Chains A and B, each alone.
Chain A
Amino acid sequence: MNRRSPRSARPVAWVLLIVLAAPILAACSQAVAPTAVPPPQPTQAPAQPATAPPQPSATPVPKPTDTPKPKSLTIGLHQEPDILNWDYTNEWVAQLVIETINPGLFNWDDKNQIFPELAAEVPSQTNGGISADNKTITLKLRPGLKWHDGTPLTSADLKFTWQAVMNEKNTVASRDGYDQIAGIDTPDDTTAVVHFQDVYAPWASKIFRSIMPAHILGSMDSIDKADWNRAPIGAGPYKFVEWVSGDHITVAANPDYWRGRPKLDRIIWKIYPDVEGLVAAVKTGDVDIGVDFTEAKIPEFEQLAPKVRLVTLPTGWVEHYLFNLGPKTGPPFFQDVNVRKAIALAIDRQTIVDKLLFGKTKVARTFWDNTYWENTAIKALPYDPEQAKKLLDDAGWKVGPDGIRAKGGVKLSFTHTTQSGNQLREDVQLLVQQNLKDAGIEMKIQNVPADTLFAGFTEGGPVASGTYQMAGYTDGAFPDPDNGGSNYWTCGQIPTADKPDGTNWYRVCNPELDKLFEQAVRVVDPAERKKLYDQIQQIMADNVYIIPMYDRLDIYTAADRVVGFQPGWFSSFYWNIYAWDVK
């Protein structure tokens, strides 16, 4: 017999309820308490040292006294930046945000033309910025530049940036370029004289893409854990305001920007972790600009006109198929240029571009497509299955009873590996598979997730360790043509057990190419340098080292209220962000 009094049943229910509701109650009371205070736990911009009022009177901004609403622009990203220190990231989304807060000395416009941003001029031999031996570059800063906290930005900051990148205590993402510097002199506040160890052509796109403030970071042993990395003080058109992890990053107009106050009062980067979430936000108008979509979304966005404008830019990112050219790692028949050429001729790339990419791009020709360095004399191999078959017949590959060519007991059959779960890549792959089958070539699909595909040599990543036969992914060589040049295509960069971090995943080894690449980084004059890259591309095309598939598109959406959105793909999508406005 249950002898509990009727009242005792209730505490049980209460205990249950309290146990289950405790987390939410605790969480809610926390969330709700600081309503008056700024949003919960964002990384706040450090208070300005002098606590100077944000100078409302200092710059008489033409602002009506009855200020209505701040001019605000929302940009949707489907990936969160990792960190806001240029030298600590390889992520494009992070660089997008950093450039508005903390730009570097130079930038590139939508025509891929370099222009001085914080520098006063682009150094050249004519203006005396580049020494006669090409080894010394004199960088001039614009006079009167100021960090967002009011401290002058000087050549000492440039020197400090170099030292910070080279400091053993700092786990920067890359020392590329900085490790070529022998020393920096700072004769005055606006001049930095950079002495390179050797002639180093790619310098402009490698060093001082963003500058670190010596007065904030200079006294730290290591800047890895500096608050500045997530709440930077820069000298760009917009000042950092807050970063609410996983939600948004806000920046506000910098009235002291050297070009003058930008037109927008603030920009918010809203983070949508899922592309579909971002697409929904584009449709509802929750974001003004949507950044980075896949080609498959093109028809969906085209329907949104005229409220939303679709922007597609063919870029220097080249989707390409790699032959594993290592004599020991790849299939032996890939050593034969005629087999490689036959495979390329058998693939109907134009149809892929027209059907799967909606004709918005073109068949790729070289690894340097759409850049200044592209050898425009090179034409893509046509779709010519007859010639492909003839080449293979001539090379002794005879069609067997199963429809697959063979020679000396070896079947013309190989695997193809790309990123699984990528719809476009898998669709293209199926078309290619059919094309090749028609020519008597068997291509077996063996896809893996992206993090496996790009895993390192020691982790057995198929491309790095050379266990793949044919692979497909996107890469490119810009902003400097050597960014994806000598490190990709030279013999010394082939990954081996002794050099597991080598990045020549093609396993191309051609001494002639090695020599040209080596020369090309030592020629500073662009026209002279381009001749070398023209030769390189010709050799690569003649040998069919890769199959350039198509030029990848940068795909954005912009609401009709956005004015001045003129993205460039080359280096900076935000090159003219100071001029953006909203209607």
Chain B
Amino acid sequence: MTTYIVRRLLQAIPLLLIITAVVFVLIQLTGDPLAAYGRGRVRAEDRARLRHQLGLDQPVLPAITLDENRQITVVPGQYLTWLGRVASFDWGESIVTKQPVLEMIGNRLRNTLILMGAAYVITLAASLLLGVYSAARQYSFFDNLLTTASFIGYSFPIFTLALLLLYLFAVNFKAWGLPYFPTGGMYDLEAGPTIPQYLWHLVLPVAALSIIDIAGYTRFLRSSMLEVLSQDYVRTARAKGVMERIILLRHALKNAALPFVTLLGLNLPFALAGAIVTETIFAWPGMGRLFWEHVQKSDYPVVMGILLVVSVAVVLFQIITDVTYTFLDPRIRLT
């Protein structure tokens, strides 16, 4: 197991190098950090100065040139310079805010984890519950209801759902004199950052994030449960008179959960993408928003930093998913 994990971690390094190199080049191709910097109102001489001061006049990739005197000059280029700094745990500074990138990400990562974590736990709990229940009571009234609801839920684009929740439960509920949720932020400034405040402000964004995922996961789990429940060993267990609850939870769910765990692990990057929209609409100061705002400004040190964090998270989650397999299915051995 340990060798397996170490090997996977080592394999991740070239992968990360390729990802970062491709993204770095793409960012540089698609946007100019100085273009977003004050539009045409920045004078040519200021642009030229900044381009030089910020090293943006360097080539993106390493370049070797041979001049007429047959002198070879090697320019490391912006990517290698960036990589060198990352390797020494200095991820550079944002072009627009001049803050260290690690500090910026650090300020936001925690908030994203709170939001994502809460949404993940609720999604997981609810979809396990609903998925197992509707598989056990296939074609019951509740199952049909859930099927309809999950199709509706799954077809909502997240920004529509988020805006809908915002307008209904924050704006209209207040107008109608009902108890209402806050429009955004993590806590009321009067009340300060307390746990009840966090929880209260989490409700709408977590709902926006979870509803769609619950809808999808419930469907997924229901069908994989149904598949497992029709297998011979389940029939054997039933014939032996094992309690239905034990059959469902121990015999069936454990096997049905295998593809579900894969899905959860693979969906992490999409979950982070969903966080961009949710964090933006509910003014939740998380990392997804930070990413989006700085993509628009072509602020490559910040964008690269966040992508690196997300890439590492994806790789780690894949390893965790693999390790979880061995717990769920003793036949799987990681070597």
CB contact list, B98-132 vs A, under 8 A: 98-100, 104, 106-108, 110-111, 113-114, 116-118, 120-121, 124
Q: How far is the CA of A124 from the CA of B42 in the complex (A)?
A: 28
Instruction: Please determine whether A28 and B114 come into contact, CB atoms closer than 8 angstroms.
Output: yes
Q: Are B324 and A246 in contact, with the CB atoms below 8 A?
A: no
User: Given that A171-B50, A268-B189, A274-B283 are known contacts, is A499 also in contact with B44, CB under 8 Å in the complex?
Assistant: yes
- A82 & B281 in contact (Cβ 8 Å cutoff): no
Are the CB atoms of B283 and A277 closer together than 8 Å?
yes
A439-468 to B contact mask, C-beta < 8 Å, 1/0: 000000000000110111011010110000
For B166, give its contact among A11, A83, A224, A276 (CB under 8 Å).
A276
Is B312 engaged at the interface, CB distance under 8 Å to the other chain?
no
Complex CA–CA separation, A499 to B43 (angstroms) = 12
Q: How many residues of A contact B (CB 8 A)?
A: 79
Any chain B CB within 8 A of the CB of A305? no
Q: Are B250 and A83 in contact (CB under 8 A)?
A: no
A280 touches B185 (CB 8 A): no
B294-327 near A? 1/0 per residue, CB < 8 Å:
0010100000000000000000000010001001
Q: Does A90 contact B (CB under 8 A)?
A: yes
* Nearest CB on A from B262, distance (A): 13
* Complex Cα gap A90–B33 (Å): 13
Q: B269 an interface residue at 8 Å Cβ cutoff?
A: no
Q: A174-B43, A247-B186 are in contact. Are A23 and B324 (CB under 8 A)?
A: no
B48 within 8 A of A: yes
* B67-75, B140-148, B167-175, B212-220 - interface stretch: B167-175
A40 and B106 CA atoms in complex are apart in Å by 11
- Separation of A542 and B167 alpha carbons in the complex (Å): 50
Known: A27-B114, A32-B195, A276-B166. A173 touches B38 (CB 8 A): yes
Q: B39: CB under 8 A from chain A?
A: yes
Query: Bound complex: CA of A381 vs CA of B280, how far in Å?
Result: 43
A274/B38 in contact, CB under 8 A: no
Task: Judge if B226 is at the interface, Cβ distance under 8 Å.
Answer: no
- How far, in Å, is B228 (CB) from chain A's closest CB? 14
- Interface residue ranges of B30-78 to A (CB < 8 Å): 30-32, 34-51, 53-54
Report the minimum CB–CB distance from B198 to chain A (whole Å).
Answer: 6
Contact of A286 among B43, B182, B289 (CB under 8 A): B182
| Cα–Cα, bound, A225→B118 (Å) | 35
Contact A31 B114 (CB under 8 A): yes
With both beta carbons as reference points, the residue of chain B lying nearest to A463 in the complex is identified as B40
What are the residues of chain A within 8 A of B261 when measuring CB–CB?
A: 16
Whole-angstrom distance between the Cβ of B255 and the nearest chain A Cβ: 11
Q: Cβ of B110 and Cβ of A40 under 8 Å apart?
A: yes
A24-B171 contact, Cβ under 8 Å, with A277-B281, A451-B36, A503-B44: no
Decide if B98 touches A505 in the complex (CB within 8 Å).
no
Interface flag for A372 (CB, 8 Å): no
The 7 closest A-B CB pairs, nearest first, are A24-B117, A246-B285, A90-B38, A501-B44, A27-B113, A501-B47, A456-B32
The residue in B38, B45, B189 that gathers the most chain A C-beta atoms within 10 A of its C-beta is B189
Binary flags per residue of A470-495, CB closer than 8 Å to B gives 1, else 0: 00000100000001100110000100
How many angstroms between the C-alpha atoms of A463 and B36 in the bound complex?
Answer: 13
A456 lies within 8 A of B42 (CB): no
Counting chain B CB atoms within 10 Å of each CB, which of A175, A276, A461, A464 scores highest? A276
Bound complex: CA of A41 vs CA of B107, how far in Å? 7
Contact A280-B167, Cβ < 8 Å, known A20-B121, A224-B98, A247-B283 = yes
Please encode chain B, from 131 to 143, with 1 for each CB lying within 8 Å of some chain A CB and 0 for all others: 0000000000000
How many B residues, CB 8 Å from partner?
87
In the complex, chain A residues whose CB is within 8 Å of the CB of B170: 280, 284
What's the Cα separation between A173 and B297 when bound, in Å?
A: 14
Residue of A whose beta carbon sits closest to that of B188: A286
Judged by a CB distance under 8 angstroms, whether A248 is at the interface is yes
Q: Are A273 and B283 in contact (CB under 8 A)?
A: yes
Q: Smallest distance from the beta carbon of A2 to chain B beta carbons, Å?
A: 8
Bound Cα distance from A463 to B47, whole angstroms? 16
**Does A229 have its Cβ within 8 Å of any Cβ on chain B?**
yes
- Cβ of B111: which chain A residues have Cβ within 8 Å of it? 27, 246
Bound Cα distance A248, B328 (Å): 45
Please, which residues of chain A bring their CB within 8 A of the CB of B40?
454, 463, 475, 488, 503, 505
A296 part of interface (Cβ distance < 8 Å): no
Report yes or no: B37 in contact with A90, Cβ–Cβ below 8 A: yes
Question: Smallest CB–CB gap between A532 and chain B, Å?
Answer: 21
Residue of B nearest to A268 (CB): B189
- Excluding A90-B42, A246-B107, 12 further A-B contacts by CB distance (< 8 Å) are A6-B250, A15-B324, A16-B261, A168-B53, A245-B107, A273-B292, A277-B282, A284-B174, A454-B39, A459-B29, A487-B43, A501-B44
Q: How far is the CA of A499 from the CA of B51 in the complex (A)?
A: 13
CA distance A389 to B52 in the complex (A): 51
Given A28-B114, A461-B32, A501-B44, are A273 and B289 also a contact pair (CB < 8 Å)? Answer: yes
- Is the CB–CB distance between B194 and A19 below 8 Å? no
Q: Which one of B36, B93, B97, B327 contacts A15 once the chains associate, using CB atoms below 8 Å?
A: B327
User: Is A284 a contact partner of B184 (Cβ separation < 8 A)?
Assistant: no
Complex Cα spacing A511 to B96, Å: 37
User: Are A284 and B193 touching (Cβ within 8 A)?
Assistant: no
Kindly state whether residue A39 has any CB partner on chain B within 8 Å. yes
From residue A387, how far is it (CB to closest CB) to chain B in Å?
32
Contact residues in A for B161 (Cβ distance below 8 Å)? none
Q: Cα distance A25–B118 when bound, in Å?
A: 9
